[in-house]
Copies of this chain bind each other. A is one copy, B any other.
């Protein structure tokens, strides 16, 4: 049972290999009669796409989405919305030498073990290029959520050892997008860019952390005991390429807190005096802001020499050519937002199904 469908009511089934004809997906369960803003979809794709700034890979994909069904005269029909993004700037020959090589910390080895066949060009299905389909679906979900007053906003809070102070975490989308690295704090942003340039020059790569907030969430959404709202968010985030960790609200810092410090007291009206819960209690939203952190490992593709093996168990020394980001975290911001939007809209619709 393969795993290329996400969600239960609002469902995305994604397809595509990095250097195949196209990537894309089908959204099933999209509410009907929603007016689609196509520019906003393209805007989200542009935030994710390579080549958008001096610090990202120079692969030049137009990344234009074409809708094949489910939208009529600008409005959703309630039927499946299929879309594709054609793969244009494929330099598949860059990968010829990698046909049989297992790159360290990539998915070459595991895809070969699992499927006994793989499309080696550009990482095939395991390429992060696939996440463009998620961004399209997420952009539609965001539009629907916006109508109900729910807004999702993520930013880069750390790259390598450069980080924003935790005390200062509310930012405007404008400030975020003004930064090449999507870090809204100007000084930190500058330091991050400098760090990326340094590391790139050494042929190395960097990890980072994204913080995401969901504002305007109504109370009562989430499905215990297994499909708790934060459990679904965790799954969504951990399914993004290069993600190694997820924490909600107080997260790992809760380990060292006392109950008396951690508990969020209710105030008259149902607000809480603190928000260590991160807007979710018992797996159900409580009406406070939801926020969580996502940890990204450094990109596996580096141009330094590495030892590895090939399919025939021969030792190989590898040094990546091709075009690669030293740090993908800034481009992952719209992906984090998209996956969060898919989770929240799906759970909102699940809640609608709970009463006749």
Contacts and interface: CB of A to CB of B under 8 A. Distances in A.
- Stoichiometry (number of copies): 4
Interface in A100-143: 102, 104-107, 109-111, 113-119, 124-126, 130
Given A3-B224, A32-B354, A110-B285, A298 B247 contact: no
Contacts of A302: 259-260, 263
Contacts of A309: 266-268, 270
B244 A254 contact: yes
Given A110-B219, A119-B72, A223-B3, A252 B258 contact: no
Nearest to A259: B205
A259 B106 CA distance: 12
B223 A265 contact: no
A205 B258 contact: yes
Interface string A217-257: 00111111111101111111111010011111111101111
A250 B84 CA distance: 35
Interface in A1-36: 1-6, 8-9, 11, 13-17, 20-26, 28-29, 31-33
Interface stretch (A52-60, A180-188, A275-283): A275-283
Given A259-B298, A260-B302, A222 B254 contact: no
A210 B156 CA distance: 28
Contacts of A231: 234-236, 238-239
A250 to B, nearest CB: 6
A246 B302 CA distance: 27
Interface centre among A2, A227, A284, A307 (most CB of B within 10 A): A2
Nearest to A297: B254
Interface string A81-103: 11010000000000000000010
B247 A244 contact: yes
A64 interface: no
A99 to B, nearest CB: 11
Given A104-B264, A220-B114, A356 B254 contact: no
A55 to B, nearest CB: 15
Contacts of A236: 231
Contacts of A106: 281-282
A70 interface: yes
A226 to B, nearest CB: 4
B284 A107 contact: yes
Interface stretch (A38-46, A164-172, A342-350): A342-350
A296 interface: yes
A26 to B, nearest CB: 5
Contacts of A355: 31-32, 352
A258 B222 CA distance: 37
29 contacts: A1-B8, A3-B224, A3-B225, A3-B227, A4-B79, A4-B226, A17-B79, A33-B115, A78-B115, A79-B125, A104-B263, A113-B219, A113-B286, A113-B287, A125-B224, A125-B225, A148-B356, A207-B255, A209-B252, A226-B239, A234-B246, A244-B278, A254-B295, A254-B298, A259-B301, A263-B300, A263-B306, A266-B307, A268-B313
Query: Which 5 residue pairs across A and B have the least CB separation, nearest first?
Result: A107-B282, A3-B227, A3-B223, A205-B259, A245-B247
